[in-house]
Every structure is written in C-alpha cells, then in structure tokens.
Amino acid sequence: MQSSFHKRSPSETQQVLLRPQQELDRVLQAIVQMAARIGKPFSETRMEQLISDLGPYPVQAIEWALDSWGRNAKVLPAFADLLQLLRSWISDSGMAEKCECTHLHGTGYGVEDLLWLMKKRGEHAERFSISQWEALFAELDAKRVGGPPAWRGTPDGQNFLRVESA
C-alpha cells in the first residue's frame, strides 16, 4: 500500500514527533488487517487521522487493540472505541503502575490530560507565551470531568506557570 505515510520531503519541517518507519509500518499493517477482518476498508483520510490520534500510544498496545477490535466487531472503530481498548491494555500491562509517584496518583493531571495538552499545543507552530499556556490549561480544566485538580485552586496552583525571578 503506497500512501502519503511513506512520502516525506527532506526540506519539510516536522511539527510533531513521528514514529520510526518500522513502527509506522506495524501500525499500518495492524489497521489493514483489522479492516480486512471486518471486510470494510478505511479511507486514506480516515487512516491518516487514526494514525495521528494513535501517535502517543505504544505500538504493541495499538496492535492489540486493533486485533481485538477486528476479531470482535462488525464495523470499523471510532477512535473512542480504540481508546477504551488502549486503556485496558495499559491497565492490564501494568504500565500505569510503573511510575515512582504513586503518592501523587489521582491528585493531578493524568496521562489523557497531558496527551490532550500536547496535541493542542502541537496545532500551533509559534512559541507559546505563558498566557497562551494558561489559556490552554484553563480549557483543559473546563473539559475535565470533576474540573481541575484541587491544587490548581490554591494561589501557587493558579500561578504555577509563572516563575518569579529573584
């Protein structure tokens, strides 16, 4: 399958980190295999969007999620469908418990929040000012179930992006 995934201009400036070609090939193969099992092909545009959305997830998790969906569904998945499977894989694989900050779990921003932030930030080429970051965090806080983490309500939490110079 020859597509725009394999075409890269050497003079093109990339705004986001791309997967190595070997990993991208594995993701593409998993998508094609899943679609073949269901008997419905993806359009190139939808496949590009899916690959972009799956960017932050480990290839092994993506392969598992697509394989599971292909074996158990009759329709092509929405990204939300795959997110459920990816969360299951991350939870079952123990990846969520491999950090050293267990005393902080549930008290701040989670992986999904950070992925959302980085995706939104990646939509802009220019350098972000503190006020732009604050607006982005305000947007994140407004969309989060349960609102912002409790520490964001403190004076330090409201100004955590601003560093005072001595």
Kindly report, residue by residue over 34-60, the tens digit of the pLDDT.
Answer: 999 999 888 889 988 888 888 888 889
71: nearest Cα among 24, 25, 30, 41: 30
Domain boundaries, the chain: 14-97, 102-158
- DSSP state at residue 160: T
**How much is the pLDDT for 16?**
43
* Cβ-count burial 113-126 (b if 16+ within 10 Å, e if not): beebbeeeeeeeee
The structure's pTM equals 0.50
Other CB atoms within a 10 A radius of the CB of residue 101 amount to 8
Q: What is the pLDDT along the chain (166 residues), one digit of tens a residue?
A: 444 444 444 444 333 446 788 888 999 999 999 999 999 888 889 988 888 888 888 889 999 999 999 989 889 898 888 988 888 887 776 655 544 444 445 567 777 777 888 888 877 777 878 888 888 888 888 888 778 888 788 888 778 787 665 4
Amino acid residing at 54? L
Please report the DSSP string for 70-136 in residue order.
Answer: HHH-SSPPPHHHHHHHHHHHHHHHTGGG-SS-GGGTTSS--HHHHHHHHHHHHT--SPPPHHHHHHH
- Torsion, CA 118, CA 119, CA 124, CA 128, rounded to 10: -20
97-108: per-residue pLDDT in tens?
Answer: 544 444 445 567
